[in-house]
């Protein structure tokens, strides 16, 4: 049994397709197939059911794969111990981040992080929370930057900051005339929402208490995967949408006049780093955490007397 065989085994479990697994391991399909067959012969068991498409692990295969993932993680720890002893932050960090954070948070810290830690290879994927957790649990990413709490026992959450929700209101709305808003000040028939699958959408539904109400009839409905698009819809067609605090950074003076805060206690979302509880690649993650906290205003680092909005 070799570490190479274990890497191929985990890759096949991750992608459930021999050709794709081989491509991601940078070997030919026959090479990967042969090594997994040799491992099965040595162990005397079938690890995958090849009669199914996509291939799936057998019952004993699932147990062996779980152990293989543990062994590979422990092997990585050896390099981390050496790097830590030398005072070096190095290696690869694979980051998943939700789309309602990525365009606003990444520009604040990423350039400094890359410049400060040239020995760290950074890979970033924008993912919905559901997809992010799936990739995290398959070791396809090392860390996620998401809204929490997730109430998922498999992951460890490290809160970074607390971001207020604000309303972005057309001049033609009654709510535009108010300095501070209550949820009932928002005309639900005029509210623009993100599409299904975004945790931000669930939080907006909770802020506006839409889950408790009957569906609102409107003659034009539009759901987007982008907060920027929702802002444009308010500007072009009227109505209101809800924005996260960091998205206000790039607004013009004219656009800022359309922003309305909520009454106290103001609704907020908690933004955290999430990792698997047994994750070992701490050096680059801790370095990234420090860079993020360095650019976040102090007032956003504590929830104070604001109201944390659940994800769904």
Short-list 289, 279, 311, 284, CA closest to 140: 279
Q: Say how far apart CA 66 and CA 107 lie, in whole Å.
A: 37
pLDDT beneath 50: ranges in the chain? 211-212, 215, 219
Q: Say how far apart CA 231 and CA 169 lie, in whole Å.
A: 9
Q: Say how far apart CA 37 and CA 25 lie, in whole Å.
A: 16
Q: Say how far apart CA 91 and CA 119 lie, in whole Å.
A: 7
For the stretch 100-112, pLDDT in tens is: 999 999 999 999 9
What integer pLDDT is reported at residue 209 of this predicted model? 67
What integer pLDDT is reported at residue 210 of this predicted model? 54
Strand partners, 240: 169, 191
List Cβ<8 Å contacts ≥24 apart for 185-189.
186/240, 187/239, 187/240, 188/213, 188/216, 189/216, 189/217, 189/218
The CA-CA-CA angle for residues 199, 123, 276, to 5°, reads 60
Tell me, yes or no, if the pTM score tops 0.85. no
Q: Say how far apart CA 203 and CA 199 lie, in whole Å.
A: 6
Q: Say how far apart CA 83 and CA 81 lie, in whole Å.
A: 6
Neighbours of 307 (CB within 10 A): 14
The three-state DSSP-derived secondary structure of the chain is CCHHHHHHHHHHHHHCCHHHHHHHHCCCHHHHHHHHHHHHHHHCCCCEECCCCCCEECHHHHHHHHHHHHHHHHHHHHHHHHHHHHCCCCEEEEEEECCCCHHHHHHHHHHHHHHHCCCEEEEEEECCHHHHHHHHHCCCCCEEEEEECCCCCCEEEEEEEEEEEEEEECCCCHHHHCCEECHHHCCHHHECEECCCCHHHHHHHHHCCHHHCCCCCCCCCCEECCHHHHHHHHHHHCCEEEEEHHHHHHCCHHHHCCEEEECCCCEEEEEEEEEECCCCCHHHHHHHHHHHHHHCCHHHCCCCCCEECCCC
The CA-CA-CA angle for residues 61, 62, 68, to 5°, reads 85
Query: Could you tell me which residues come within 8 angstroms of residue 79 by beta carbon, excluding any fewer than 6 positions away?
Result: 91
Instruction: Kindly list the distances between the CA atom of residue 265 and the CA atoms of 55, 182, 269, 310, in Å, as whole numbers in the listed order.
Output: 51, 10, 13, 15
Residue 293: half-sphere exposure toward Cβ, Cα within 13 Å = 13
The two three-digit tokens of residue 168, written as one number? 């972005």
Neighbours of 188 (CB within 10 A): 16
The two three-digit tokens of residue 164, written as one number? 């207020």
């Amino acid at each position: 049994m070799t570490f190479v065989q274990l890497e191929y085994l985990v890759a096949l479990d991750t992608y459930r397709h021999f050709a794709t697994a081989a491509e991601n391991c940078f070997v030919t399909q026959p090479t990967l197939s042969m090594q997994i067959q040799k491992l099965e012969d040595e162990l005397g068991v079938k690890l995958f059911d090849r009669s199914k498409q996509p291939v799936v692990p057998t019952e004993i295969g699932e147990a062996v794969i779980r152990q293989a993932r543990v062994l590979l993680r422990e092997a990585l720890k050896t390099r981390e111990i050496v790097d830590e002893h030398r005072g070096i932050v190095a290696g690869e960090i694979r980051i998943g981040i939700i789309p309602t954070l990525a365009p606003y948070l990444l520009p604040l810290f990423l350039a400094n992080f890359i410049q400060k830690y040239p020995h760290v290879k950074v890979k970033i994927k924008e993912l919905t929370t559901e997809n992010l957790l799936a990739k995290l649990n398959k070791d396809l990413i090392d860390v996620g930057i998401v809204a929490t709490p997730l109430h998922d026992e498999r992951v460890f959450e490290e809160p970074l900051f607390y971001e207020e929700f604000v309303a972005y209101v057309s001049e033609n709305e009654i709510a535009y005339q108010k300095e501070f808003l209550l949820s009932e000040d928002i005309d639900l028939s005029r509210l623009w929402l993100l599409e299904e699958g975004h945790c931000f959408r669930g939080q907006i539904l909770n802020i506006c208490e839409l889950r408790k109400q009957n569906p609102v009839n409107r003659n034009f409905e539009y759901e987007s995967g982008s907060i920027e698009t929702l802002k444009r819809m308010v500007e072009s067609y009227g109505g209101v949408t809800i924005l996260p605090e960091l998205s206000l950074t790039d607004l013009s003076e004219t656009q800022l006049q359309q922003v309305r805060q909520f009454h106290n206690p103001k609704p907020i979302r908690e933004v955290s780093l999430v990792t698997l509880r047994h994750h070992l690649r701490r050096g680059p993650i801790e370095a990234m955490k420090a860079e993020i906290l360095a650019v976040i205003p102090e007032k956003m680092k504590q929830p104070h007397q604001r109201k944390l909005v659940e994800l769904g």
